[in-house]
Amino acid sequence: AGRREGGSMSSRSMDDMMRMSFDELRGSMGPTNTVGHSVVLAGGTHSFRGTMGGSIAGSMHSALPPAIPDHAQQLDVLLTGPGAERHCTHGVAVLDAKRAEAACQGKNDFILFEPLDIAIREKKCVVLVTPMGAGRSLKGAQAYLADSLAQWLGEQKVDGAGRPYGETKDEDPTLRLHFTRGQIKAIMAFGSASPTKGQR
At 33 the pLDDT is 46
Whether the model clears a pTM of 0.85, i.e. scores above it, the answer is: no
Task: State how far the Cα of 60 lies from the Cα of 174, in Å rounded to an integer.
Answer: 34
Helix (H) or strand (E) holding 4: none
At 43 the pLDDT is 40
Q: With contact defined as beta carbons under 8 Å apart, do 100 and 78 qualify?
A: yes
At 19 the pLDDT is 61
Q: With contact defined as beta carbons under 8 Å apart, do 132 and 74 qualify?
A: yes
Block mean pLDDT (10 aa), the chain, length 200: 49 58 57 44 43 48 82 96 96 96 96 97 97 84 97 94 93 96 97 68
